[in-house]
Amino acid sequence: MLTVDEAFRKFKSRLELNDKEQKNASARQTEVRDYLVTKFAIDRSFLTGSYARHTKTKPLKDIDIFFVLKESEKHYRSKAPSVVIGAFYDALVEKYGKDAVRKQSRSVNVDFGVVIDADDNTDYRVVSVDVVPAFAAGDDYEIPDDDTGKWIKTNPEIHASKATAAHQAFSNEWKGLVRMVKYWNSNARHGEKPVKPSFLIEVMALQCLYGDWQGRFDYEIQGFLSTLADRIFDEWPDPAGLGPAISNGMDAARKQRARDLLMAASRDATIAIDHARCGRNGEAVKAWRALFGPKFPLS
């Protein structure tokens, strides 16, 4: 039987991006780009979001790809966000089919039909990507936001440098802990994602996971879950100070539900810690597995 620390280390490494996955993500990006350049005047495209920052959890779903449009497509910028989303949707449906393509408020999702097994493995393949139409705006980008009906500003470089700084300040354990809690959040056991968008977990971690890494995954996770529960009702602005508040994704009822689930998870973590403290190692590992899901190893 693994010790709790060994189990956490294995869990952490299972949530790390590996070469095969990166190759598959690049191949999918190239595939989508090579198609979309036949439909739109695209200046460049790049993998971004949590994938590029190494804060995405597994299975790899909804990897963000920005498609920076050329000046000649600027007519879209003066129209409602739904227009460019609709145009990208129509184009992608032509290639991937209606069942694989979905409109979202800021992107179009393309599902590659990858099977996720009971252990949350996908044979190193990306399940889906979020195709995000974008215009360059100085150092920032403008992207459509059908929720507000407006174009919003964003800056992935600022989000990336904040994540890197937090990671380094926390003995290089910050991103691993963020991926773990995002894994908890995405687990189907809840029936829905408690925290929405999951980017909010990372944004909150910029303030809630700091100080010195104490060397114990179990304590850090318990404390992090409990702080998330405490502060889920706070207003969480875009860390780059450009887009709408990240906490706008949930209404009051949803925040209450998130708080309840985070508090329950934090109590479960306390029980798991207690098992280990009393020498019940096997029980402790099982309790963490029940909390996180199949990627937390039992052996």
Cα–Cα distance between 14 and 31 in angstroms, integer?
A: 27
59 contributes a contact to ligand ATP by CB under 6 A: no
120 contributes a contact to Mg ion by CB under 5 A: no
242 contributes a contact to ligand ATP by CB under 6 A: yes
Stretch that binds ligand ATP, among 22-30, 31-39, 119-127, 148-156 (CB under 6 A): 148-156
3-state SS record for 215-259: CCHHHHHHHHHHHHHHHCCCCCCCCCCCCCCHHHHCCHHHHHHHH
Give the residue with the Cβ less far from Mg ion, 64 or 120: 64
Give the residue with the Cβ less far from ligand ATP, 49 or 287: 49
Cα–Cα distance between 49 and 30 in angstroms, integer?
A: 17
49 contributes a contact to Mg ion by CB under 5 A: yes
159 contributes a contact to ligand ATP by CB under 6 A: yes
64 contributes a contact to Mg ion by CB under 5 A: yes
Q: How many CB atoms lie under 10 A from the CB of residue 159?
A: 24
Q: How does 6-29 read in b/e, with b if 16+ C-beta sit within 10 Å?
A: ebbeebbebbeeeeebeebbeebb
176 contributes a contact to ligand ATP by CB under 6 A: no
Give the residue with the Cβ less far from ligand ATP, 11 or 199: 199
What is the separation of C-alpha 119 from the centre of its chain, rounded to a whole number of angstroms? 19
59 contributes a contact to Mg ion by CB under 5 A: no
Q: Is residue 235 classed exposed, middle or buried when 0-12, 13-18 and 19+ CB atoms within 10 A define those classes?
A: exposed
How many residues form the binding site for ligand ATP (CB under 6 A)? 18
Residue 260, CA distances (Å) to 179, 221, 232, 272 in order = 21, 16, 10, 18
Contact letters for Mg ion, residues 247-266 (x by CB under 5 A): --------------------
- Closest distance of CB 281 from ligand ATP, Å: 32
243 contributes a contact to ligand ATP by CB under 6 A: yes
Tokens of 59: 């299975």
| Residues found near Mg ion in the complex (CB under 5 A) | 49, 64
Residue ranges binding ligand ATP (CB under 6 A): 49-50, 56, 62, 64, 152, 154, 156, 159, 197-199, 202, 238, 242-244, 246
